[in-house]
Amino acid sequence: MNPRSTAELKSKYSDVAQARDVALRDDHHALKNDFPEHAFPPGQNSIDPDFTNRKRLVYRSKQRGWLEVDLLLGSFATKYVPEFTAAGGYLHTCRIIIWHASLHIECLITMTN
């Protein structure tokens, strides 16, 4: 029998929808390291995944949508992300911060609530 109300839809499909949502978000946020052939520099047939991830972090830091956060986070990332070592945990921490909402990042930077 087909659900006839929103409550029936939620009870029947909420677990399926939630699992699909998690899978879609995981796929969307996964860093892709397979590139089309035309993306390689001349004379190369591969791209360093570590270099690619660092470039993504810097780009994402500059393209947040709030000018203030773009300037602060982008300037920081441009200066320090290339120097971070993977073993130090800074790249992972930077990635976590960047995926937060711009408002939360501004509050973190300005130490306000």
Residue 16 in 3-state DSSP? helix
pLDDT for residue 79: 92
Instruction: State which amino acid sits at residue 75.
Output: S
| Angle subtended at Cα 23 by Cα 22 and Cα 29, rounded to the nearest 5 degrees | 85
CA gap 57, 23 in Å, rounded: 22
pLDDT for residue 84: 85
pLDDT for residue 14: 84
Which residues, other chains included, contact 54 with Cβ-Cβ below 8 Å and sequence gap of 6+?
81, 82, 84, 91
Enumerate domains of the chain plus CATH numbers. 6-29+49-110 (1.10.150.250)
pLDDT for residue 56: 86
* Residue stretches of the chain with pLDDT short of 70: 1, 31, 33
pLDDT for residue 31: 64
pLDDT for residue 15: 86
